[in-house]
């Protein structure tokens, strides 16, 4: 029996929608940076999705072997490899979802912002080509610093005249995956039941788990809130330090990104009950980009869960105020980089 992502419960639980009949093997997905630490396991997980007809793998190096290896899995999607700028256009043509884990990861002692100088240019170049060859695709950005790379992508798409804010996503699913795991462990809950909304951005204090809004409803002491919040905010660094110079989270990130890809495909396929947290162009706060829960539909973001920024606890209200200046600066850094390079 073929392995499918849905049978592995990659995607979050959802209520069955009355009129939703999943079709098989319909969508084309491209992974840019597919030979990397995230790219390889992410490509494997996407290869297992019953909704994917074609999986396009792009990297500047070593992608042929990854594609040959993956293509032997007896799941429905076709795997195609592309390398270098001359093959990039063909990689992108007709693609429904583009995922971008291209770029360098952190080493111990670095912040995500320390990656800006290298990764900003990589993301800019890749999105310039997306704007030309698949402007209607959902664009899922993993490359750090996400707080700045998403604003860079938005600016590039604006410059090219193809900006659709509903289809641009910073992938913050790993923060939710971590929060769910840590909360379930701390409170002895069944993991599959736990859902923690995480808002703000994706770096340090800009990552704000809403422990007052955890489902199922659960009480935390003040000490537990502080401890869990700090652990969720520092979880990336926990992995960077454990890997001791060999990179940052790759496997848990691939798992999280595969969940977001599967949710995107389900939304594109007509499922009308798909919700994920994501760092997106937003009007929920005074910041132009903000992570919150969003409802996904065929055309991208269909609605924001505005209650994510209402009725916060005192701790969360203070944390939200505290994160805004840092997130604002990261957004402005991205926008000004893209404008200067235009
Ligand atoms: P990696 O170095 O293992 O892989 C990166 C891949 O990108 C390499 O194969 C490299 O050849 C490729 N690449 C570089 N420039 C490219 C270009 N111009 N076009 C296409 N491919 C290119 O790194 P990794 O561990 O996979 O991490 C990738 C990025 O993801 C990093 O920036 C990291 O910080 C970020 N990340 C984000 C999250 C998140 O939650 N959003 C989580 C983990 C890692
Ligand atoms: C993470 O949260 O694991 C990623 O953003 C990678 C990192 O640098 O921490």
Q: What's the first-to-final CA gap in the chain, in angstroms?
A: 51
Of the residues 4, 19, 202, 219, which is catalytic? 202
Tokens linked to 289: 């980009």
Q: Which residues lie closer than 8 Å to 199 by C-beta, 6 or more apart?
A: 208, 210, 277, 290, 291, 292, 308, 309, 320
In the block, tokens 């489902």 appear at 215
Quickly count: other Cβ atoms within 10 Å of residue 222's Cβ: 10
> In terms of DSSP bridges, do strands 27-32 and 52-59 run parallel, antiparallel, or are they unpaired?
parallel
Nearest bound ligand to the CA of residue 38: 1
Burial of 219 (0-12, 13-18, 19+ CB in 10 A): exposed
Q: Are 232 and 209 in contact, with CB atoms under 8 Å apart?
A: yes
Rounded Cα–Cα distance for residues 125 and 82 (Å): 16
How big is the chain, counted in residues?
342
- List residues near ligand 1 (CB under 6 A): 32-33, 35-39, 58-61, 101-106, 115, 119, 122, 125-126, 142-144, 146, 171, 174, 202, 247-250, 253
Q: Which residues lie closer than 8 Å to 254 by C-beta, 6 or more apart?
A: 38, 40, 41, 42, 44, 45
pLDDT of residue 22: 53
Our answer to whether residue 56 is catalytic in this structure is: no
Give residue 237 CA to ligand 2 midpoint distance, Å: 7
By alpha-carbon position, which residue is closest to atom 4 of ligand 2?
A: 236
Give residue 64 CA to ligand 1 midpoint distance, Å: 17
Interface pTM (ipTM) of the complex? 0.99
Give residue 310 CA to ligand 1 midpoint distance, Å: 35
| Site to substitute for ligand 1 among 248, 249, 259, most atoms within 8 A of C-beta | 248
Peptide bond into 224 cis (omega under 30): no
Give residue 41 CA to ligand 1 midpoint distance, Å: 12
Peptide bond into 216 cis (omega under 30): yes
Q: What pLDDT tens digit does each residue of the chain (342 aa) get?
A: 333 334 444 445 454 444 445 566 699 999 999 999 999 999 999 999 999 999 999 999 999 999 999 999 999 999 999 999 999 999 999 999 999 999 999 999 999 999 999 999 999 999 999 999 999 999 999 999 999 999 999 999 999 999 999 999 999 999 999 999 999 999 999 999 999 999 999 999 999 999 999 999 999 999 999 999 999 999 999 999 999 999 999 999 999 999 999 999 999 999 999 999 999 999 999 999 999 999 999 999 999 999 999 999 999 999 999 999 999 999 999 999 999 988
pLDDT digits (tens, 9 = 90+) for 279-325: 999 999 999 999 999 999 999 999 999 999 999 999 999 999 999 99
């Amino acid at each position: 029996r073929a392995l499918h992502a849905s049978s592995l419960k990659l995607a979050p639980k959802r209520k069955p929608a009355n009129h939703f009949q999943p079709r098989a093997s319909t969508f084309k997905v491209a992974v840019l940076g597919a030979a990397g630490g995230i790219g390889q396991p992410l490509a494997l997980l996407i290869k297992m999705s019953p909704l994917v007809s074609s999986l396009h793998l792009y990297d500047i190096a070593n992608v042929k072997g990854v594609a040959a290896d993956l293509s032997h899995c007896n799941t429905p999607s076709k795997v195609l490899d592309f390398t270098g700028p001359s093959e990039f256009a063909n990689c992108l043509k007709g693609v429904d979802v583009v995922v971008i884990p291209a770029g360098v990861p952190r080493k111990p002692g670095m912040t995500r912002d320390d990656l800006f100088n290298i990764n900003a240019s990589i993301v800019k170049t890749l999105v310039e080509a997306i704007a030309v060859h698949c402007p209607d695709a959902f664009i899922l950005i993993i490359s750090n610093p996400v707080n700045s790379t998403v604003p860079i992508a938005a600016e590039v798409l604006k410059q090219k005249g193809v900006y659709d804010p509903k289809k641009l996503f910073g992938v913050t699913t790993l923060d939710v995956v971590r929060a769910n795991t840590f909360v379930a462990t701390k409170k002895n809950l069944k993991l599959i039941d736990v859902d923690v909304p995480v808002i703000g951005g994706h770096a340090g204090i800009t990552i704000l788990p809403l422990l007052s809004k955890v489902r199922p409803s659960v009480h935390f002491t003040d000490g537990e809130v502080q401890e869990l919040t700090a652990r969720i905010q520092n979880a990336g660094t926990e992995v960077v330090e454990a890997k001791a110079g060999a990179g940052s989270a790759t496997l848990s990130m691939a798992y999280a990104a595969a969940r977001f890809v599967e949710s995107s495909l389900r939304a594109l396929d007509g499922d009308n009950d798909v919700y994920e947290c994501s760092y997106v162009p937003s009007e929920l706060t005074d910041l132009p980009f903000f992570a919150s829960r969003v409802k996904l539909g065929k055309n991208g973001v269909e609605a924001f869960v505005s209650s994510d920024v209402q009725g916060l606890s005192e701790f969360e209200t203070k944390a939200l105020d505290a994160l805004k200046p840092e997130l604002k600066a990261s957004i402005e850094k991205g926008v000004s980089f893209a404008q200067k390079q235009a």
